Amino acid sequence: MIAPLQLLWGYYMRWTVRWPALAAFVPFLPLIALWSLIVSLGVFPRAFLPGPLDVLSKGWALLYKGILTDYLADSLARLAVGAAAGMAIAIPLGVFIGLNRRAYEISWPILLFFQAIGDIAWLPILLVWFGFGLTTMTFVIVYTVLFPVVLNTVLGIRTVKPELRRAAQSLGASRTRILFEVMLPGALPNIITGLRNGLGYGWRALIAAEIIVGTSGIGFLMFDARRAGSVEEIVVGMIVLGVLWYIVDSWLLAPIERATGQRWGLVTT
């Protein structure tokens, strides 16, 4: 048993050196094998834990009917709109608060408090105000993305080394030039970290909002399936969410964070 495993491991090491992308997929294979083993042994009833093939065929059916792509597009559009609006407000606000001592002292406790309330706790009052619909959902996502980005932008601006500002001043840079050439690039790694956190929270908030108020979207799909007792559909939803976020986070956000942080020597995570 040991020898074939070692042989396999050796192959795996060699192939991942040639195609590093393999390392992101292959580890899931034993997990899927374990999953089908548990299902075929009948430890849990099928209605509780479906097998990989059941899930796959359900996923194919949903894809074929176009429901999955429609719902996915809905969820992503909501997230994109919310994230864009959140950033558009958060970055200028964070820069302003970070540069202005008085504004910082007044707003910091308030920002911390509103961040602590958390997006999802806003849902009930938003439902009272706006009813079940897009406004409520957009508000929740904007709110969720806003705070991590503002807080991190403020932190980034405030932790730009004072010598860098002084160096720019004594090289003759104006206030505007200092803002764009020194303060913003200096805060960029923090801003990206904030964005990464904000999207992580925003995406969870979206699922919750879709479960509670939704009429479409992946969260709605999952909870609708829950009502109908279709466990395969729930698992399809979870896998889609996981894969999607895995791709966004590890192939888009993390590399940007590393590119700015590492080359400049400003690693923040």
Partner 1 sequence: MKSLVLENLSKTYFDPYRGTQFTAIKDVSLQVGEGDFVAVVGPSGCGKSTILNMIAGFVPISGGRILVDGHQVKGPGPDRGVVFQSHALFPWKTVAENVTFGPKMRGVGKAERARIADEYLALAGLSHAAERYPNELSGGMQQRVGVVRALANNPDVLLMDEPFASVDAQTRMTLQEELTRIWEERRPTVVFITHDVSEAVFLANRVVVLSKGHVLAEVAVPLARPRSWTRLVEDDGFKALSNQVLQLVRSA
Partner 2 sequence: MTDEAVSFSPLPYRRTLAAVKFIAPLLALVVLWQAVVTVFAVDPRVFPSVPTVLRAGWSTIVDGTLVAHVGASLWRVTVGTVIAILTAVPLGIAMGVSKGVSAFLTPLFRFFSVLAGIAWIPIATLWFGYGFGAITFVIFNAVFFVVAYNTLMGVSTIPMPLRHAAAALGANRWQMLTQVLLPGALPNIVTGIRTGMGFAWRGLIAAEMIATNVGLGYMLFLARDFYRTEVIVFAMIVIGVIWLVLDRFLLAPLERATVERWGLVQS
Q: Which residues bind partner 2 (CB under 8 A)?
A: 9, 12-13, 23-25, 27-28, 31, 48, 105-110, 112-114, 116-125, 127-129, 200-201, 204-205, 207-208, 211-212, 222-223, 225-226, 229, 231, 234-235, 237-238, 241-243, 245-246, 249-250, 268-269
Q: Token pair 């949903």 is at which residue? A: 62
Output phi, psi for 173, to 5 deg. Answer: -80, 140
Pick 28 or 60: Cβ nearer partner 2 = 28
Q: Residue 237's binding partner, choosing from partner 2, partner 1, none, with beta-carbon cut-off 5 to 8 A by kind?
A: partner 2
Nearer to partner 1 (CB atom), residue 69 or residue 174:
174
Q: Which pair of structure tokens corresponds to residue 45?
A: 């009833």
Contact 201, 213 (CB under 8 A): no
> Would you say 123 and 136 are in contact if contact means Cβ atoms under 8 Å apart?
yes
Q: Which is nearer to partner 1, 40 or 170 (CB)?
A: 170
Extract the tokens encoding 97: 């608060």
| Contact partner at residue 15 from partner 2, partner 1, none, CB < 5 to 8 Å by partner kind | none
Closer residue to partner 2 (CB): 28 or 174: 28
Interface ranges with partner 1 (CB under 8 A): 161, 163-164, 166-174, 177, 181-182, 185-186, 188, 260, 263-266
Angle subtended by helix axes 52-65 and 231-248, to nearest 10: 80
Report the nearest approach of partner 2 to the CB of residue 58 (Å): 14
